[in-house]
Amino acid sequence: MDKTAVIVCGSSGKMGQSIISLIEEDQYQELIFIGGVDIHYSENITKKPINIKDIEDKKISFGKFITLKEALHFTSSVKNRVIIDFTSRQSSLVHAEEAMLYNVPIVIGSTGFNEEDIAKITGYSKHMPVVLSGNMSLGINVLLNIIYNTSKYLGKDYDCEIIEMHHRHKKDAPSGTALMLANAVAEERKLDLKESAVYGRCGEIGERFENEIGISSVRAGDIIGEHKVIFAGNDEVIEITHKAISRNNFARGAIKAALWIKGKKAGFYDMRDVLGLENTHE
pLDDT value, residue 26: 67
pLDDT value, residue 57: 83
Annotated active-site residue 166? The verdict is: yes
pLDDT value, residue 43: 80
Residue spans of the chain under pLDDT 70: 1, 26, 278-282
pLDDT value, residue 94: 98
Q: Is 221 annotated for ligand binding?
A: no
Residues whose CB falls within 8 Å of the CB of residue 172, separated by 6 or more in sequence, listed in order:
89, 111, 112
Cα–Cα distances in Å, from 184 out to 18, 28, 161, 178, 204?
Answer: 29, 33, 13, 10, 29
Catalytic option among 64, 95, 166, 242: 166
Could you state, in order of their start, the residue ranges of all structural domains in the chain?
4-136+247-275, 138-243
Q: Is 135 annotated for ligand binding?
A: yes
pLDDT value, residue 53: 87
CA angle 37, 40, 46 (to 5 degrees): 50
Cis (ω within 30 of 0) for the bond into 105?
Answer: no
What CATH number does domain 4-136+247-275 carry, 3.10.129.10, 3.40.50.720, 3.40.630.30, 3.40.50.300? 3.40.50.720
> pLDDT per residue over 157-196, tens digit each?
999 999 999 999 998 899 989 999 999 999 999 999 999 9
Q: Is 36 annotated for ligand binding?
A: no
- Please name the CATH architecture into which domain 138-243 falls: 2-Layer Sandwich (3.30)
Q: Is 167 annotated for ligand binding?
A: yes
Catalytic option among 170, 228, 256, 264: 170
pLDDT value, residue 56: 85
pLDDT value, residue 114: 92
Q: Is 1 annotated for ligand binding?
A: no
Annotated active-site residue 169? The verdict is: no
Q: Is 279 annotated for ligand binding?
A: no
Tell me, yes or no, if the two domains 4-136+247-275 and 138-243 fold the same way.
Answer: no
